[in-house]
Chains A and B, each alone.
Chain A
Amino acid sequence: MTASRHLAGQLFVLGALLLASLAAIGVVVGISVGIGDLPIPLATTLSAVTNRLGWTTAELNRIHETVIWDYRLSRALVAAFCGAGLALSGAILQSLLRNPLAEPYVLGISAGASTGAVAIVILGVGSGVLSLSAGAFAGAFAAFLFVALLSNGTRGGADRTILAGVAASQLFNAATSYIVTTSGNAQQARDVMFWLLGSFGGVRWPEFTLVSVIVGLGLIACLFYARVLDAFAFGDEAAAALGVNVGGARAALFALTAMMTATIVSMVGSIGFVGLVVPHAARFVVGPLHSRLLPACAIAGAIFMVMADIASRILIPKQVLPIGVVTALVGVPFFSVILYRIQRPS
Chain B
Amino acid sequence: MSIRTDNLIWRIGRKTILDGVTFQVKPNAMLGLLGPNGSGKTSLLRLLAGLKQPHSGHVMLDRTDLKSISRRDIARRVAFVEQHAATNSNLRVVDVVKLGRFPHRSMFSGWTPDDQQAIEYALERVGMEDKRTERWQSLSGGEKQRAHIARALAQSPKELLLDEPTNHLDVQHQIGLLRLIASLPVTSVIALHDLNHAAMFCDELIVLSQGRIVAAGTPEDVLTEPLLKDVFRIESRVETSPYHGRPHIHYLR
Contact = CB atoms under 8 A, between A and B. Distances in A.
Interface of A: 95, 98, 100, 224, 227, 230-231, 233-235, 237-238, 240-245, 283, 287-289, 343, 345-346
Contact of A288 (B73, B79, B89, B103): B89
Which among B76, B107, B138 has the highest number of chain A CB atoms within 10 Å? B107
Given A242-B99, A243-B75, 11 more contacts: A95-B89, A98-B88, A227-B102, A231-B99, A234-B85, A240-B71, A241-B51, A241-B79, A241-B82, A243-B102, A288-B90
Interface string B26-57: 00000000000000000000100101000000
Contacts of B72: 243
A244 B102 contact: yes
A341 B100 CA distance: 31
Given A230-B99, A234-B86, A289-B91, A224 B107 contact: yes
B84 to A, nearest CB: 9
A327 to B, nearest CB: 24
| Chain B interface mostly | mixed
B137 interface: yes
**3 A-B pairs with the lowest CB-CB distances in the bound complex, closest first:** A243-B75, A243-B103, A243-B72
Interface in B79-109: 79-80, 82, 85-92, 95-96, 99-100, 102-103, 105, 107
Contacts of B96: 233
A244 B89 contact: no
A289 B87 contact: no
Contacts of A244: 71, 102
B205 interface: no
A289 B102 contact: no
Given A241-B79, A243-B75, A243-B103, A289 B88 contact: no
Contacts of A100: 88
A64 B157 CA distance: 66
B51 to A, nearest CB: 5
Interface string B228-253: 00000000000000000000000000
B100 A242 contact: yes
Given A100-B88, A289-B91, A346 B51 contact: no
Given A100-B88, A231-B102, A346 B95 contact: no
A283 B92 CA distance: 13
A237 B137 contact: no
A345 B137 contact: yes
Contacts of B107: 224, 227
Contacts of B105: 227
Contact of B74 (A224, A243, A283): A243
Interface residues of B, number: 31
B161 to A, nearest CB: 9
A346 B137 contact: yes
A95 B79 CA distance: 22
B98 to A, nearest CB: 8
A238 B100 CA distance: 11
Contacts of A241: 49, 51, 75, 79-80, 82
A288 B137 contact: no
Interface in B111-140: 137-138
A272 to B, nearest CB: 22
A345 B90 contact: yes
A342 to B, nearest CB: 9
A5 B75 CA distance: 33
Given A240-B51, A240-B71, A233 B89 contact: yes
Most buried by B among A234, A244, A283: A234
Contacts of A235: 85-87
Contacts of A230: 95, 99, 102
B75 A346 contact: no
Contacts of B76: 243
Nearest to B148: A234
Nearest to B92: A287
A288 B91 contact: yes
Contacts of B71: 240, 243-245
Contacts of A237: 46, 51, 82
A233 B91 contact: yes
A246 to B, nearest CB: 8
Contact of B75 (A224, A242, A288): A242
B102 A345 contact: no
A121 B193 CA distance: 64
A242 B137 contact: no
Contacts of A343: 137
B64 to A, nearest CB: 16
Contacts of A224: 107
Contacts of B79: 241
22 contacts: A227-B102, A230-B102, A234-B85, A235-B86, A238-B85, A241-B79, A241-B80, A242-B99, A242-B102, A243-B71, A243-B72, A243-B75, A244-B71, A245-B71, A287-B91, A288-B89, A288-B90, A289-B91, A289-B95, A343-B137, A345-B137, A346-B138
